[in-house]
Amino acid sequence: MKKTVTTLADGRELIYYDSADDTVRDAVDPRPLDAVSTSSEIRRDPLLGDSVAIASHRQGRTYHPPADECPLCPSREGRHSEIPDTEYDVAVFENRFPSLAGDSGRCEVVCFTSDHDVSFAGLSEEQAALVLEAWTDRTADLAELPQVAQVFCFENRGAEIGVTLGHPHGQIYGYPFVTPRTEQMFRSMESHRAGTGRNLFDDVVARELADGERVVLEGEHWVAFVPYAAHWPYEVHLHPRRRVPDLRELDEAARTEFPQVYLELLRRFDRIFGPGEPPTPYISAWHQAPFRAPGREEFALHLELFTIRRTSGKLKFLAGSESGMNVFINDVPPEAAAQRLREVASE
Ligand SMILES: [Zn+2]
């Protein structure tokens, strides 16, 4: 893998990740861009004790551009995008419309491939391995920034999720605080340790494997299951068998197997609702330990993949109970979801 760090016309960082070690990336961004002005502000909610990023500049962001104006496609003669080169393997750049910036953290865009018309599920194992390298390297780089407490690599796929650009891409948020979900997991982890002397994540994975009813697939180094109390209609948690706190600590064997396992999961997601159905909208979310949290070694890196589609043509909306009270109501029993995700396997 070769990494080339460069800057765009307005000073934002652009990083190329290439499979071939001899790739040269020297294309210059010729656009007359104004410096990025962001007004992102973190406000604390006194009742809930959580934080909201107020980011009014995002209202002006690129919204469903036509394919020939895609800002994530490589540049070509007369049409300059966010990527100055005429092709790329994986490219990461600082978001021009960040939710978090400066002292409030950092937002990056990860372009998975220069091919506009493919989805992650359509990447080769080699391409998916390069994306994993990029996620890992970004986590390592952002860990060095004092204003970043936690790194979140994720992909929103599908217009139903609110994706405004069709090009296959994900995002990386470097939060300036520990997120509420992670804080909650730490509280659960600590009380489980206090009560049993054991690690919560180890016990959860062991229980799913012993039970077996919700296991979706098992690799030599990874295991995927629908959690016992899944919140979403189809939700899968993917854990490395050897528990590690973040992407940087995955061993070579787990890295090597990851593309195969993850691509299989994504391809099954697209088959859940049967042939003729448009691609399944999903959110794919890496959970990593915050960098400076006490007890971070106890945390388990894992990926949570879920769709908001509950049945053909119908979405699960976060309505009164979910949005008003944080109580999820799931119409699809986790055991049935797991059964479906097993029966749509490739072989
Ligand atoms: Zn594109």
Give the Å distance between the CA of 243 and the centre of ligand 1.
36
Q: Quick check: 137 and 38 in contact, CB under 8 A?
A: no
Rounded-to-integer distance, Cα 312 and Cα 91, Å: 34
In the block, residue with structure tokens 């998916």 = 128
Give the Å distance between the CA of 136 and the centre of ligand 1.
24
Give the Å distance between the CA of 168 and the centre of ligand 1.
7
pLDDT in tens, 281-292: 999 999 999 999
- Tokens linked to 331: 């119409």
Amino acid of residue 300: A
For 45-66, give the DSSP string: -TTT--EEEE-GGGGGS--S--
pLDDT in tens, 46-78: 999 999 988 876 656 666 677 678 999 999 988
Residue 227 half-sphere exposure toward CB, CA atoms < 13 A: 18
**What is this structure's pTM?**
0.95
Beta bridge partners of 169: 111
Rounded-to-integer distance, Cα 271 and Cα 220, Å: 24
- Tokens linked to 16: 């190329």
What SS3 class is residue 231? coil
Give the Å distance between the CA of 312 and the centre of ligand 1.
28
Rounded-to-integer distance, Cα 214 and Cα 216, Å: 6
Give the Å distance between the CA of 167 and the centre of ligand 1.
4
Per-residue confidence in pLDDT tens, the chain, 347 aa: 999 999 999 999 999 999 999 999 999 999 988 877 776 789 999 999 999 988 876 656 666 677 678 999 999 988 999 999 999 999 999 998 888 888 889 999 999 999 999 999 999 999 999 999 999 999 999 999 999 999 999 999 988 887 878 899 999 999 999 999 999 999 999 999 999 999 999 999 999 999 999 999 999 999 999 999 999 999 999 999 999 999 999 999 999 999 999 999 999 999 999 888 888 999 999 999 999 999 999 999 999 999 999 888 888 888 889 989 999 999 999 999 999 999 999 86
Dihedral angle of Cα 72, 98, 239, 259, to the nearest 10 degrees: 10
In the block, residue with structure tokens 């489980």 = 192
Give the active site residues: 169
Give the Å distance between the CA of 293 and the centre of ligand 1.
38
Rounded-to-integer distance, Cα 200 and Cα 193, Å: 7
pLDDT in tens, 152-185: 999 999 888 878 788 999 999 999 999 999 999 9
